[in-house]
């Protein structure tokens, strides 16, 4: 009986410890602001803004989560490109 409980305990601990590996394997699609930044890196701010116009299906303003707002801060802070950041506003 004791060996049976130890086996259950071991299996339970094993499942708990492996669950982040199994559950963390989801591949999520990059969000719109990440796509815009990648486009900026490849083709410049004008192409990035054109891409935004094509891909933005949610026309409501979402405040700090607005993709252009996120892109602007990314351009300012990471890329140090203030001119491109101004265009994204």
Domain ranges of the chain: 32-87
Per-residue pLDDT at 5 exceeds 90: no
The DSSP output letter for 13 is H
pLDDT surpassing 60 at residue 86: yes
pTM for the model stands at 0.63
Average pLDDT, whole number, for the chain? 82
- The answer to whether the CB of 75 falls within 8 A of the CB of 81 is yes
CA distance 65 to 34: 12
Number of Cβ within a 10 Å radius of residue 26? 6
Token pair for residue 61?
Answer: 């303003």
């Amino acid at each position: 009986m004791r060996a049976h409980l130890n086996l259950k305990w071991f299996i339970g601990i094993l499942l708990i410890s492996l669950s982040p590996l199994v559950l963390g394997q989801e591949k999520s699609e990059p969000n719109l602001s990440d796509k815009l930044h990648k486009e900026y890196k490849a083709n410049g701010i004008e192409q990035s803004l054109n891409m935004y116009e094509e891909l933005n299906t949610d026309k409501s303003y979402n405040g700090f989560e607005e993709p252009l707002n996120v892109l602007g801060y990314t351009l300012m802070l990471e890329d140090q490109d203030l001119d491109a950041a101004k265009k994204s506003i």
